[in-house]
Structure 1
Amino acid sequence: MATSSSVTERRGIPAAAFVEDVQTYLSQSALDVNTALSFFQERLQQYRVVEMKLLAQQRDLQAKIPDIEKCLDVVATLQAKKGSDEVLTADFEVSEGIYSRARIEDADFVCLWLGANVMLEYSSEEANALLKKNLENAKASLEVLVADLQFLRDQVTITQVTMARVYNWDVHQRRLLQAAAATSES
């Protein structure tokens, strides 16, 4: 009989069913061994595709979080220097490998890249609040992705074990048939 965990899916990822009794599963599903193995193999491939997508999202978030933290540090430095007569000298990247030096005397506003070639000017306080919110959202998304990846890995393992059980059951059935045929010939 096919049993599955209490979770049937997680964010669109279907849960794998563990096949406890292969013969019952095949007869209830009206499948032969090859069809069942093909189904499980296809499901395994689907899991692999989803895993690749989730890993790419995880890499993006893991790269994004330090960038947001760096921006928060810069905004905090600007806020700390605000009102003092101290001039801040900063090197910033104009494009890949090309840097420029700037003198920042008193910065009440900062410009933040929002993506899609869009930059907006914010007050230091607004920028700080926005960056903190973005950092919280990125960390929360990363936690969800890690949980999704763990769920997915569990489903891959369940599917692989089920495939092995179906294959081994089939081998056992063939051996029984061969043994029965050998005893009937003698």
Structure 2
Amino acid sequence: MNEEEAREAYFELRVIEEQMKQLQHQIAQLESQISEFETALSSLKELEGKDEEEAFVPVSSGIYAKARISDTKKFIVSIGAGVAVEKSPDETAKIIEKQLAEMRQYREQMIKGLQLLGARAEEIEKKVAEEQG
């Protein structure tokens, strides 16, 4: 391996390393979103069949206000672009479950991408080691 090829291999490894860091960060963010949606689904199921429920509503990070949920048969669900619609608990649960499935599928795709990048990095490192050895 000549000097130019070694430089290219080193550069490619740095690019792969950066891509892997970005993917790891995105996976961590997605894991956080998945956790939030799982909590929402769990909370929704806890409200099922109850007429009224006391809850803590987040005001800011770590700050909550005590509130009473007076109607557990209807939920307001954002559908994007600043639009929200009223949905039943079952409809709301289905929306959350669909979003969870999509996020989990996307997470798996990102993990596969991360594995491919890792394999490529190993391949380059092995080639460089063989050429230098």
TM beyond 0.5: yes
* Change over 3 Å in CA distance of 1:68–1:149 after alignment to 2: same
| Deviation of the 1:113 alpha carbon | 5.9
Determine the C-alpha separation between the residues in 1 that align with 2:80 and 2:95: 14
SS in 1 for 2:110: helix
Structure 2 residue aligned with 1:158, among 123, 129, 132?
A: 123
* Aligned twin of 1:173: none
Once residues 131 and 3 of structure 2 are traced to their aligned partners in structure 1, the CA distance between those partners, rounded to angstroms, is 9
CA contact (8 A) 1:114 1:120 kept: yes
Structure-2 change in CA distance of 1:94 and 1:112 (3 Å): farther
Partner secondary structure for residue 55 of structure 2? strand
Specify which of 116, 120, 134 is matched with residue 84 of structure 2.
120
Tell me by how many angstroms 1:77 deviates: 2.1
Q: Counterparts of 1:166 and 1:137 in 2: how far apart (Å)?
A: 44
Please tell me the residue identity of whatever aligns with 1:95.
Answer: S
Q: CA RMSD in A?
A: 2.1
1:95: Cα distance to partner?
1.4
The DSSP-based 3-state class of the residue aligned with 1:90 is: strand
Contact residue 56 and residue 64 of structure 2 kept, 8 A: yes
Q: Is contact 1:54–1:149 with CA below 8 Å preserved after alignment?
A: yes
Aligned residues of 2:78 and 2:85 also touching (Cα < 8 A): no
Flag the 1:119–1:71 CA change in 2: closer, same or farther, 3 A. farther
Unaligned stretches of 5+ in structure 2? none
| Alpha-carbon separation, structure 1, partners of 2:6 and 2:93 | 54
Identity of aligned residues (%): 22
Q: How many residues align?
A: 132
Q: Deviations over 1:110-150 (max 9, x none)?
A: 2346789x573431232211100110011111111111111
Distance 1:111 1:143 in 2: 30
Tell me, in whole angstroms, the C-alpha distance in 2 between the residues paired with 1:96 and 1:125: 29
| Contact residue 111 and residue 119 of structure 1 kept, 8 A | no
Structure 2 match to 1:103: 68
Residue 127 of structure 2 aligns to which amino acid in structure 1? T
TM value normalised by structure 2: 0.87
